[in-house]
Structure 1
Amino acid sequence: MYYVGIDLGTSAVKLLLMREDGKIENVVSREYELSFPQPGWSEQNPEDWYRQTLDGLKKLVHAVDPKEIAGISFGGQMHGLVALDEDDNVIRPAILWNDGRSQEEVVYFNETIGKKVISGYTGNIAFAGFTAPKILWMKKHEPELFAKIKKIMLPKDYLAYKLSGSFSTDYSDASGMLLLDVEHKCWSEPMCELCGITKDILPKLYESYEAVGYLKSEIADSLGMKRDVVIAAGAGDNAAAAVGTGTVGKNKCNISLGTSGTIFITSDCFRVDANNALHAFAHADGKYHLMGCMLSAASCNKWWMDNILKTDRYAEEQKDIVKLGENHVYFLPYLMGERSPWNDPMARGAFVGMGLDTKREDMVQAVLEGVAFATRDMYEAARSAGISLEHSMICGGGAKSPLWQKMIANILNISIDIPNCEEGPGMGGAMLAMVADGKYATVEDAANAIVSVKSTCEPDAELVKKYEERYRSFRKLYPALKDVYGKL
């Protein structure tokens, strides 16, 4: 049998077809537009996600007999606000995870209500990217549209709704809404009241590996599939990617260098770090995780290469970078503001330390190192919570760079494991569909059977020492510029 994993990303939907033994048969990608109506805003049309997903499915199933497809699940961009009216029409473009418009609402939650109170309700404090501040923003600035809301869902759950008719979400994705009592896995009544909504407009909650329904008969018929194709709840993109790298079970780590960047640390029990610098979320395996998130990771390199250097020769630009730990140029990767650990939507990118002797490769190196240093910032937040790591898996587009792997290993001083097959949230989604269909008893069983390590990048003691000194300097830069960002 075959299983489909749908990775609903920020710039494209990527569909993956996998055999039950883990062999990938086909991958199809379909892009859609990202809109920035005002500075700091980020929106998309949910109908574009669905249209491109259906188009991708049509091409994906040509690789096999469609009747052999048994399950579909998802890994999706988190936090986005998708609002439907009583006729299931999309009320307004979805407000995405990297949208920073809700700064006043974040202040209201964290300062007026209080971080301690909000964290008590949900396990987390408010960030501009989370869903609840977006809801409050919409209530204040678009009251007529707000009054029409009959369903609130997350991006991947819109796909599940369109494909199956099931109004559902999973605990991992719901954790990032600031509406879920993460520890007790239920919607928070106090948070709903603060947002001016009722629980009946929120989806039913499931574990990521649970079936929420079946593919609609008309869609199944049009694609040549059976009518009993299982639709599993799926997971937020980072939890799904963690499943795809085998990051399930106690005290395991996955670092993602995608559009955003994350450090994802698993836990058997619910826990919150004292400073709320890390998100305390449910995991797709039914347990929990702590996660640090930086808003711009591989997207920093894409911006630098595409918009500034105007080249697509990514590997070529990195080949002359040899003086690791000695670069005099620093880059702050806050192109869309920053979440962990600073929680500052006003922060912006910056180069520091340039001189007349600065070369092109110094700037390229600084961009890569800046993302790695910011990853170290997130790891330091985990260490302050008593977490110590020796290994981490790595995934995402940026993780395909051996140079970036080496920087991460030495700046964090941990071993970096590179999986044999790295297909991110799509792979994790397909594995979740397998569990929902009964091919594996647990998510951990699926991971043990399918995921393996190709190679390991070990830290070098001398390079670790050099980078430790550089990191201490990097760490001083954001505090020095914080007040400047607010004035800019």
Structure 2
Amino acid sequence: MLYIGLDLGTSACKLLLVDETGAVRNTVTKSYPLSFPQPGWSEQAPEDWWQAVLAGVPELLTGFDPAQVAGIGAGGQMHGLVALDEADRVLRPAILWNDGRTASQVDYLNGQVGKAVLSQRTANIAFAGFTAPKLLWMRENEPELFARIKKIMLPKDYLVYRLTGVHATDYSDASGMLLLDVEHKCWSAEMLAECGVTEAQMPRLFESWQPVGTLTADAARALGLPESVVVCAGAGDNAAAAVGTGTVGEGHCNISLGTSGTIFISSDKFGVDPNNALHAFAHADGGWHLMGCMLSAASCNSWWQDQIIGTTDYKGEEAKIDPDKLGRNHVYFLPYLMGERSPINDTDARATFIGMTMDTSRADMTQAMLEGVAFAIRDSFEVARSLGIEIPRSNICGGGSKSALWKTILANVLGIPLDTVATEQGPGYGAAMLAMVACGQFSSVRQAADALVRIQSTVEPDPALVARYNDRYARFKKIYPACRELFPQLM
């Protein structure tokens, strides 16, 4: 049998065709535009996502028998607000995870409602990217559209709806809305009321591997697939990527260097960081996880190389960095190109190079950018350590993990081995694994991970380099506090 995994990203949808042994038989990527209608805003048209699937699936199945496709799973960008009217038409462009327009709504939730109350209701506090502040923004700024909302959905759930006709979401993705009681896995009545919506407007909740339904006749015809194809609920992109790297069960860790950067620590037990610097979310394996999320990770690399120094030769630029300068660079970079979430939760934060002198080279700047992202990931890593969580090693995935140099820097900044799995296809592979469980190929997500995920390579830290980076990180930590009061004045 064959299974399709959809990875609904910020810039493109990646489609994977996976057989029952876990082998990736084909991949297709379909890109779509991203809109920035005002500074700090970030939007997309949900119809573009669906058109990417309509175009991608037939291409994915070229040379394969569509009758062999048993299931589809989707992993996708989290937090985005997709609002549908009574006819299930999209009311406005989706407001995405990296949209920063909700600063005043976040201040209201954290300040007036109160962080302690939010944490008690949802296990989290408000961040600009979350869905609840977006609903408040829409109620205040687009009241006529807000009044017409019939269903509230997340990006990958819109695809599931177009496939099945069912309004559904899973617990991992719903955890990032600030509307879910994460511990008890139900909608928070208090938070729904706070945002002026009802449970009837919310999608039905599922575990990630549970079947939502099968393809509608229209979807099956458009995709060239049987109507019997099972569609599971899927997962938020980080939870799906964690499944795809085998980061399931107690005490496992996955670091993702994608557009955003995350550190994902899985657990069989519910737990909350008392300072809410890390998100406490449900996991796609049925358990929970703590997660630190930085808004700009690999996107810092593309910004620096594509837009600033004007090159697409990423490997060539990295080759200019002297290995002896690792841990000795005098230039530092704060990677806050779109503000920051974990652990500082500051929409006003901005990216900053500091420490340049007349002998600073282009290579020094590139190295500082790579190191700055690694240091920012360590910020969340240190929060986990402060909670007594031991992280002896971690998986690593995402586009940035294809850089051997960046993995070396990160392994030594964190001081732990980093494992790369043999099939590193991010959320799409995890989504396909969830579809396998939905179809009965495996009895659980853990069984699927044990059977399919294998470590391909490991980057080990060097004790001498770890010591140098510990010294550098101690200095890096002082930069943001020194600049924090200045950032709002730069707007």
Asked if these proteins are the same fold (TM beyond 0.5), I'd say: yes
What amino acid is aligned across from residue 190 of structure 2 in structure 1?
Answer: P
Q: Give the deviation of 1:412 after TM superposition.
A: 0.5
Structure 2 counterpart of 1:338: 340
Structure 2 SS opposite 1:62: coil
Q: Give the deviation of 1:58 after TM superposition.
A: 1.4
Structure 2 counterpart of 1:170: 170
Which of 319, 324, 327 does residue 326 from structure 2 map onto?
324
Cα distance in 2 between the residues matched to 1:199 and 1:225: 33
What amino acid is aligned across from residue 478 of structure 1 in structure 2?
Answer: Y
Q: Give the deviation of 1:65 after TM superposition.
A: 0.5
Structure 2 SS opposite 1:21: coil
Structure 2 SS opposite 1:209: coil
Cα distance in 2 between the residues matched to 1:388 and 1:222: 49
Asked if 2 retains the 8 angstrom alpha-carbon contact of 1:5 and 1:426, the reply is yes
Asked if 2 retains the 8 angstrom alpha-carbon contact of 1:26 and 1:63, the reply is no
Structure 2 counterpart of 1:449: 451
Structure 2 counterpart of 1:154: 154
Structure 1 counterpart of 2:293: 293
Stretches of 4+ moved more than 6 A in 1?
A: none
Structure 1 counterpart of 2:206: 206
Q: Give the deviation of 1:388 after TM superposition.
A: 1.4
Asked if 1 retains the 8 angstrom alpha-carbon contact of 2:54 and 2:222, the reply is no
Q: Give the deviation of 1:486 after TM superposition.
A: 1.0
Asked if 2 retains the 8 angstrom alpha-carbon contact of 1:67 and 1:224, the reply is no
Structure 2 SS opposite 1:63: coil
Of residues 57-66 and 360-369 in structure 1, the stretch that sits farther from structure 2 once superposed is 57-66
Asked if 2 retains the 8 angstrom alpha-carbon contact of 1:5 and 1:429, the reply is yes
Q: Give the deviation of 1:295 after TM superposition.
A: 0.2
Q: Give the deviation of 1:219 after TM superposition.
A: 2.3
Asked if 1 retains the 8 angstrom alpha-carbon contact of 2:2 and 2:70, the reply is yes
Structure 1 counterpart of 2:76: 76
Which of 463, 466, 471 does residue 465 from structure 2 map onto?
463
Structure 1 counterpart of 2:18: 18
Cα distance in 1 between the residues matched to 2:273 and 2:80: 24
Matched ranges for 1:297-308 at <5 A: 297-308=297-308
What amino acid is aligned across from residue 460 of structure 2 in structure 1?
Answer: E
> Does residue 1:54 correspond to 2:54, yes or no?
yes
Structure 2 SS opposite 1:454: strand
Structure 2 counterpart of 1:215: 215
Cα distance in 1 between the residues matched to 2:318 and 2:181: 44
Identity %: 63
Asked if 2 retains the 8 angstrom alpha-carbon contact of 1:25 and 1:63, the reply is no
What amino acid is aligned across from residue 362 of structure 1 in structure 2?
Answer: D
Cα distance in 2 between the residues matched to 1:360 and 1:459: 26
Structure 2 counterpart of 1:229: 229
Matched ranges for 1:360-439 at <5 A: 360-439=362-441
Cα distance in 1 between the residues matched to 2:220 and 2:343: 45
Cα distance in 2 between the residues matched to 1:194 and 1:223: 40
CA RMSD of aligned residues (A): 0.7
Cα distance in 2 between the residues matched to 1:260 and 1:342: 15
Structure 2 SS opposite 1:117: helix
Structure 1 counterpart of 2:140: 140
Q: How many residues align?
A: 488
* TM-score normalised per structure 2: 0.99
Asked if 2 retains the 8 angstrom alpha-carbon contact of 1:73 and 1:429, the reply is yes
Structure 1 SS opposite 2:212: strand
Matched ranges for 1:238-257 at <5 A: 238-257=238-257
What amino acid is aligned across from residue 199 of structure 1 in structure 2?
Answer: E
What amino acid is aligned across from residue 365 of structure 2 in structure 1?
Answer: M
Cα distance in 1 between the residues matched to 2:75 and 2:246: 15
Q: Give the deviation of 1:224 after TM superposition.
A: 3.0
Q: Give the deviation of 1:320 after TM superposition.
A: 2.4
Q: Give the deviation of 1:384 after TM superposition.
A: 1.2
What amino acid is aligned across from residue 344 of structure 2 in structure 1?
Answer: W
Cα distance in 1 between the residues matched to 2:330 and 2:304: 18
Q: Give the deviation of 1:87 after TM superposition.
A: 1.0
Cα distance in 1 between the residues matched to 2:403 and 2:484: 31
Cα distance in 2 between the residues matched to 1:466 and 1:269: 36
Q: Which runs of 5+ in 2 are unaligned?
A: none
* TM-score normalised per structure 1: 0.99
Structure 2 SS opposite 1:256: strand
Cα distance in 2 between the residues matched to 1:34 and 1:225: 29
Cα distance in 2 between the residues matched to 1:195 and 1:467: 44
What amino acid is aligned across from residue 215 of structure 1 in structure 2?
Answer: L
Structure 1 SS opposite 2:333: strand
